[in-house]
Amino acid sequence: MALSDIAAGVASALSTGANRLRNAVFAPQALAEPVPQLIDGYFYAADSIKLIDRHVSYSALYRAQPSVSAVINKRAELLATLPVRVWDTAPASGNIEETSGPLIDLLRDPTDGMMPAWSFWRWLSATKDIYGEAFALKRRDANGTVVRIDPVTPVRVAIERDDQGHVNYIFTLAPGTGDGILTAPESDVIAWLNFNPGNIMRGMSQLEPLRATLAAEDAARRANGSFWKNGARPGTVIKHPGELSQKAADKIRAQYDSGHGGADLTGSTAVLDEGMTVEQIQLTQEEAQYVESRKLNLNEVCMVFDMPPAAIHALLEKASFTSSVEQLRSLGRDTMPPIVESLASALQTQLVSEFYSDSAHVIRFGLDEMLRGDFESLAKTLPELVTSGTITPNQAATFLGLPLHDDPMADRLFANQATQPLGTPVAAAMHGGGDGAGWGDDLPKEGERVRSDAATHDEDAGTRAVKPASIRTRAVAGLSGQITMKADRAAMRATAVKAMRAAVAAGFGRQATAIRGAAKTWGSVDDDFDAADLAAGLYSAADWGEDLAGELRKPTASIVDAFGRRIAGAGFDVDKAKEWIAASVKAAADSMNSATADGLAAALSSLLDGDKPDDMTAAMLDAVNAFTDEMTGARVDQAAETRATFVSQFGEVEGATQKGLATKTWVTGPNPRSSHAQLDGETVDVDDTFSNGMRWPCDISAGDYDEVAGCNCTLSFD
């Protein structure tokens, strides 16, 4: 051969190799395969396992081995019970479930009536577990819309990847269908594949890691069947004193087997002649481990399929109630989520894009029912969620599968203590009023007569006198008890401050929301606007007096009651302080609201000082937002601390008065003000004021703010 011919051949070979290498770029998935594959090649799935002395298909193992079928059936049936939902994740308000549309209809009836939806999802899960893969062929209408997906068993599917990296699915059809072959592009197929370390084009059956286990199980079951078929005992030897021909030995064996062999003849009586004797061969120690080996096989099947044994009612000999409950919980927490995510991921990638062009629509299997727990646990947990304002009563009823309540209140959130609709002023909720009524304003007054509670409801029914309403309602008593039960005065005070903070935060929060809303709708602001007029337009202290007072009433009464009882004991009567509490609550609300009005006016006035901003309207909104942020933050803490301390000190003085104690002594706390340090140890009559004009530490009604802010002084009584 000429040198030029050799060179041409080498060049041709190199060119061919280079072309094939370039084509590999069009099949990037081939790079994930550890064993080099042909770029243009077919991929066939494994469909059998070699056991001892024979090959058995995956489907035959499913039919023959109870542990395998039990685990696969449980997983498949659990999946089939889960709802399949489509969520729109784009809205800023949160996920919204799509309840109608072509994709929703398809998911509700995947095969368009050919098989029930429950059966389709069960088939999908079981097939994927058995073969490691499952396929569905998309069927389209004249417009190209997917209207049906047909399930296809993996053993009738071959996958072809051409030299451009494109994937085609080749389905073997039933006889009488033309050429018996259907080829579909990747875009017309949904493929669910288990991980396969050797080939990402085909999934690997979860039975593969169980080869040795399934072989041992198969051998044990065959041996056990042979035992019951061939004898009623582990093995029998008949001894004859003479020498027998083969024909005679076969005859004796046949006679003995016909009379005593098989499970139905166990325990029958044998009669021997000619001096023959019978010996039985005992089980070996290894053979006696048959049952234990079966348990081990079952345990390994559960391990590979990540199925808790308790879920299939197996291996319960050493299980306790607690361990069984925890295993069943792990079914919804650990076993099912990877399964549903695997199936949903394939649907998301290969089906959702047929109906939505965005990436905001996602498919999710609903695990809610499985994760909710048993009825008893829900019955204990749901009341806590309702009274904490987490869910509504109707949502709780839905969790329990109960009918919804017709009462509109069942769709509202409630808070603990008084169990009242969120946002309702406390006093109004306690006494049934929705307009912020005061203490007992909506209850019968002293001397008023109302209809009796007698069984009759006639017009002539009796009447009874009604006592004045007590301010120590169940809500007040409950909060007072929470404070009183603390170990020492410091802990009581911390709990009181926390309760007062919640009340102040609720009132200030509503006010801040209203102020921001008014500012947003106010419109443009000129460079020479009147700060006082604008502040008055955005907020009126008079409008919020009763609203804030309604928030302050319960914690005020509760703190007075708790600290009064600390001094006077159980005989303390908080109703004797009713007038002081009402006046104090009104004064505190008016004072706080006046401070809010002044602070807002000052914040707006600051915009007119110095260089004015280019955009006064935007600057006004920024100033309002900054003011309300401070109002609902540091100011809440400061107001709650001062108010709770002031009220608790009054409660102690009132308790000392009711107990008949004569004097009170000022006791400074750590790092006192110099003016307060001078008062340390000063004693006056319980009804008198101290030399600084205060009746007790933090007496805001007598001292200026600098004298009460952050004060931690206390009183002692004799």
Tokens matching residue 213: 């286990």
Bridge-partner residues for 278, per DSSP? 238
Q: Count Cβ atoms below 10 Å from residue 393 Cβ, excluding itself.
A: 19
Q: How far is CA 374 from CA 55, 80, 325, 388, 525, in A?
A: 44, 20, 10, 21, 60
CA distance 642 to 44: 79
449-451 and 181-185 beta bridge pairing:
unpaired
CA pair distance 186, 157, nearest whole angstrom? 13
Helix H or strand E encompassing 561: helix 545-568
For 375, residues 6+ apart whose C-beta sits below 8 A from its C-beta are 400
| pLDDT value at residue 267 | 67
- In this structure, the dihedral spanned by the alpha carbons of residues 425, 427, 430 and 432, taken in order and rounded to 10 degrees, is -80
Q: Tell me if 205 sits within 8 A of 131, measured CB to CB.
A: yes
- Report the pLDDT value the prediction gives residue 576, as an integer from 0 to 100: 92
Count of all residues that appear for the chain in the document: 718
- For 141, residues 6+ apart whose C-beta sits below 8 A from its C-beta are 147
d(CA 52, CA 55): 8
Asked if residue 68 lies in contact with residue 208, where contact means CB atoms within 8 angstroms, the answer is no
- The pLDDT of residue 355 is 92
Cα–Cα distance list, 415 to 184, 266, 422 (Å): 59, 72, 6
Could you tell me where the DSSP H helices lie in 311-465?
321-330, 336-350, 368-371, 375-387, 393-399, 426-431
Residue 245 has a CB neighbour count (10 Å cut-off) of 8
Taking phi over 0 as left and psi of -120 to 50 as alpha, with beta for the rest, 377 belongs to alpha
10-residue block means of pLDDT along the chain (718 residues)? 58 54 51 60 68 75 86 91 89 79 92 93 93 93 92 89 82 66 91 88 87 76 66 64 83 80 69 77 56 74 86 77 76 86 92 89 82 66 80 80 77 64 47 39 36 38 50 86 85 90 92 90 84 90 92 93 91 91 92 92 86 85 90 89 89 92 88 84 90 83 68 85
Pairing of strands 449-451, 463-465: antiparallel
d(CA 582, CA 488): 28
Tell me, yes or no, if the pTM score tops 0.75.
no
pLDDT for residue 192: 93
Q: What token pair was written down for 281?
A: 């061969």
Residue 431: C-alpha distances to residues 373, 434, 435, 452, 565 (Å): 38, 9, 11, 19, 24
* Residue pair 78/336 in contact by the 8 Å Cβ criterion: yes
CA distance 125 to 116: 15
Which stretches within 418-544 are classed as H helix?
426-431, 474-484, 489-520, 531-538
Sheet holding 361-365, edge to edge: 96-98, 84-88, 361-365
